Structure 1
């Protein structure tokens, strides 16, 4: 309840600031990269998941439902929709959006594990066409 109230308050404050509430164009990615932490052992791992793919880490099963990134700056602020299940619990322990730049805004609340979004996998920039070598036909012959 506290998180929802804090989230609603942040949204209202952001909407009141000029230029902050403007819509940003996002693109969908085919995959995303997450970081997983076992707080008990200190073990960490980076996991790359394609949309719909599921990975098992410890007792957690993590599924990437969607990953999107700002169209004007692909390296910034990824957002991923995840479904995370604990093998000992029937219902998902987390189902929703996580934001890379604000992991605490919508976080997995688990006593042993942490999961957060690092980035979306974006298409590589197309290689620049190689310039045709200049020829000097007829010169010096």
Structure 2
């Protein structure tokens, strides 16, 4: 029992610096959606309070925040997502860019997740897709 108390106090000491990290509010966020039926996907940049409609979904960005020391990581967005075929929102709450499955939208057709917050003066790194190479017989060991 004493070990458990000491262990919990020790773990609380480690959690302190993690919780002390400050967050800054962003003016907007970038959201990615996927229509699992058609395979269509897209990114939408929304300002705080703005919404966008794609198919049956309407995505409203209520807030976006990020770690003030590292805008490239840890984005959190508060979203309200409506499906035109339903009365109640299909999602209302915080989504985390680093852990999309932690607070995921449950929908049979669509998937939505947060990519990042829009931070003035910060541009995310640009990635280029490598050209596809054709396999040769040598690649197959023949």
After TM superposition, the score normalised by the length of structure 1 is 0.75
Q: Which residue of 2 aligns with 1:116?
A: 113
Is the radius of gyration larger for structure 1 or structure 2? 1
- 1:49 equivalenced with 2:76 (yes/no): no
State how many pairs are aligned.
112
Structure 2 CA distance for aligned equivalents of residues 19 and 51 of structure 1: 34
2:140 maps to which residue?
A: none
Structure 1 segments of 4 or more deviating over 6 A? none
Structure 2: gaps of 5 or more residues = 1-7, 123-142
The reply on whether 1:20 has 2:15 as its aligned counterpart is yes
Q: Tell me the CA shift for residue 16 of structure 1.
A: 3.7
Q: Deviations over 1:64-87 (max 9, x none)?
A: 000000011011010000000000
Shift of 1:17: 6.1
Query: What is the CA–CA distance in structure 1 between the aligned matches of 2:11 and 2:22, rounded to whole Å?
Result: 20
Quote the Cα distance in structure 2 between the aligned partners of 1:84 and 1:61.
6
- Residue matched to 1:38: 35
Match of 1:87 in 2: 84
Q: Which runs of 5+ in 1 are unaligned?
A: 1-12, 126-141
Distance in structure 1 (CA, Å) of the matches to 2:111 and 2:54 = 11
Q: CA-atom RMSD, angstroms?
A: 1.7
More helix by share: 2
With structure 2 as the length reference, what TM-score do the two structures score? 0.75
Return the alpha-carbon distance in structure 2 between the equivalents of residues 76 and 84 of structure 1.
23
